[in-house]
Amino acid sequence: MTDTDLHPWKNTPGGPEGRGAAPPSVVRADGLNLTFQTNDGPVHALKEVDLSVAKGEFVSFIGPSGCGKTTFLRCVAGLETPTGGTLTVNDMSPDEARRARAYGYVFQAAGLYPWRTIGGNIRLPLEIMGFPAAEKKRRVAETLKLVDLDGFEKKFPWQLSGGMQQRASIARALSFDADLLLMDEPFGALDEIVRDRLNEELLALWDRTGKTMLFVTHSIPEAVYLSTKIVVMSPRPGRISDVIDSPLPRERPLDIRDSREFIEIAHRVREGLRAGMDAV
């Protein structure tokens, strides 16, 4: 990967450090609706969702179980088809974006193949995409370094801790260098100390690579710590009840969580969640 690969916004006037026009939308939803038809009747999973995510933003989605967070991510990934409204990813339809490999997807469970080494797991998407051997080797080494797992290429998933497996899963999603990373509760199953460390590492990785992140979580501190924008969702039918642009600086040591600004944002998220629940 070149420096520009890792910092795609670097020479862009509208990038995170630029002073030009607003950066283009990577993800844009207008009046998005999705109703699942089930044997028990229709389930209105998303209702009138409007959202614009700019290049290089870190956007977290938080809300009670069943409010449509995963469904929204799956729509962006072209894995669900909305029943109303419009959705674009890099100005393409989600289906086109999926075929153009516009995103990497990280799931709650690391989902590594146990019979493949860590290197073999990271190499898998590159094999599917037909990268030449030397390029595969370079990208595996590069992404292992990005997630601080160099030296673990030949280990099998069971030889790694849960946190390391999740880092390997992030490396796999990064290996083909998509500008957009979709992460569905990637750290939900990990203990708090490991999660804190991975949050710090993820933020550093985001800062280094300039990628756009869409991140689902149930944790208020995690959402506030990581995000430049927090999308609060409410259930039945899933809709956005608040969008909070974080005033926190890009550089965030963990103890920023004790600051007044952090506590205020966390309070606003909690209020948004409560209001959403009261409205049900």
Ligand X SMILES: Nc1ncnc2c1ncn2[C@@H]1O[C@H](COP(=O)(O)OP(=O)(O)OP(=O)(O)O)[C@@H](O)[C@H]1O
Give me the residues that bind ligand X (CB under 6 A), please: 36, 38, 43, 45, 63, 65-71, 238
End-to-end CA distance of the chain: 48
What minimum distance in Å lies between the beta carbon of 214 and ligand X? 12
Torsion-angle region of 253 (φ positive above 0: left; ψ -120 to 50: alpha; else: beta) = beta
User: Could you give the angle at the alpha carbon of 215 between the alpha carbons of 48 and 164, nearest 5°?
Assistant: 160
171 in helix, strand or coil? helix
What minimum distance in Å lies between the beta carbon of 6 and ligand X? 30
Residue number, 2 or 65, with CB nearest to ligand X: 65
d(CA 280, CA 234): 8
Residue number, 27 or 126, with CB nearest to ligand X: 27
User: Starting at the edge strand that comes first in sequence, how are the strands of the sheet with 25-38 ordered?
Assistant: 41-54, 25-38, 84-89
Structure-block tokens of residue 199: 């949050």
**Considering only CA atoms, which of 36, 21, 57, 63 is closest in space to residue 239?**
63
Query: How many other β-carbons are positioned within 10 Å of the β-carbon of residue 188?
Result: 15
Residue number, 43 or 190, with CB nearest to ligand X: 43
What minimum distance in Å lies between the beta carbon of 69 and ligand X? 4
Residue number, 68 or 125, with CB nearest to ligand X: 68
Residue number, 152 or 215, with CB nearest to ligand X: 215
What minimum distance in Å lies between the beta carbon of 194 and ligand X? 20
What minimum distance in Å lies between the beta carbon of 31 and ligand X? 18
